[in-house]
Amino acid sequence: MEVTIAQAIWGRVFRAAMDVIADCFVRPETRTTAAEMIAGLLTEVDTRNCWTLAQALGHRGPHRLQHLLSRAKFDHDRARAEIARLVVRELAGQDVVLVADETGDAKSSTDCVGAGRQYSGALKGVGLCQVAVHLALVTATARVVIDRALYLPKDWAADEERRDVAGVPEEIMFATKPQQTAAMVANALQSGIDAHWFAGDEVYSGRELRTEIRVFGLGYAVGVSHTHVVTDGAGRR
């Protein structure tokens, strides 16, 4: 019975999500492929790429999924905003925490936007990868990623030739991960998300971001280095 109820709820929410972003796609075929790919990403497969997902979905080959990722036209930012608004409606009345974290995807070339030798928890160390910062909305019953920002290392952001070849817009410049996070938190609150707390690991514990979080009216819980010095109320360090 519980499984049946969960499936029914998932089906309703998934249809609602695809409905609110329907107008973000230029072609209905692209919208259909996007829905299939999302469903495929949630299936139990050992490795998730266009080949394995196409096989799981019953496609003849990976070409439709590859087209979606590389050439299809759809409005990423509008889709993100519409999903955030849907989440606000679905989770109205629940206690909300905004959580920042990042993930790294291994790459074979620095030609990929933002790819460079940098730390990635997924790689368990430093390696050639892209890193994206994510902002998630977390309640007692749900965890939903509502925003993202691709991190451009400073040397990559300053390389005009690589930027031009990769098509990076001029307005996107170098920003630290905490700066990217502050912008995403501001967007989340402006969209109507009624959050009262922010959480993050050591990367997001710097003074600048903590100050921004207080300005937003949020409490916070962040990780700190084992060498972090704390002064108590009596002035002891």
What is the Cα–Cα distance from 106 to 117, expressed in whole angstroms?
10
Confidence check: pLDDT of 2 > 80: no
Angle, helix 63-70 to helix 28-41, in steps of 10 degrees: 110
User: What's the pLDDT score for residue 5?
Assistant: 55
User: What's the pLDDT score for residue 181?
Assistant: 97
User: What's the pLDDT score for residue 189?
Assistant: 92
When the pLDDT of each residue in the chain is averaged and rounded to a whole number, the result is 89
Is the pTM higher than 0.85? The answer reads no
Measure CA 95 to chain center: 21
What is the Cα–Cα distance from 236 to 12, expressed in whole angstroms?
55
Over residues 8-22, mean pLDDT: 85
User: What's the pLDDT score for residue 51?
Assistant: 92
Over residues 25-52, mean pLDDT: 89
Do residues 168 and 151 make contact, with C-beta atoms less than 8 angstroms apart? no
Tokens 């299939």 belong to residue: 36
For the record, the structure tokens of 78 come out as 């509008």
- Summarised one tens digit per residue, pLDDT across range 54-112 is 999 999 999 999 999 888 888 988 998 888 888 888 888 888 999 999 988 888 887 88
Confidence check: pLDDT of 133 > 60: yes
Confidence check: pLDDT of 3 > 80: no
What is the Cα–Cα distance from 74 to 69, expressed in whole angstroms?
10
Confidence check: pLDDT of 113 > 60: yes
Angle, helix 177-190 to helix 207-215, in steps of 10 degrees: 10
- Summarised one tens digit per residue, pLDDT across range 144-161 is 899 999 999 998 889 888
Structural domains present in the chain: 1-74 (no CATH), 94-237 (3.30.420)
What is the Cα–Cα distance from 235 to 222, expressed in whole angstroms?
22
Confidence check: pLDDT of 128 > 60: yes
Q: Is the dihedral of CA 124, 130, 131, 137 positive or negative?
A: negative
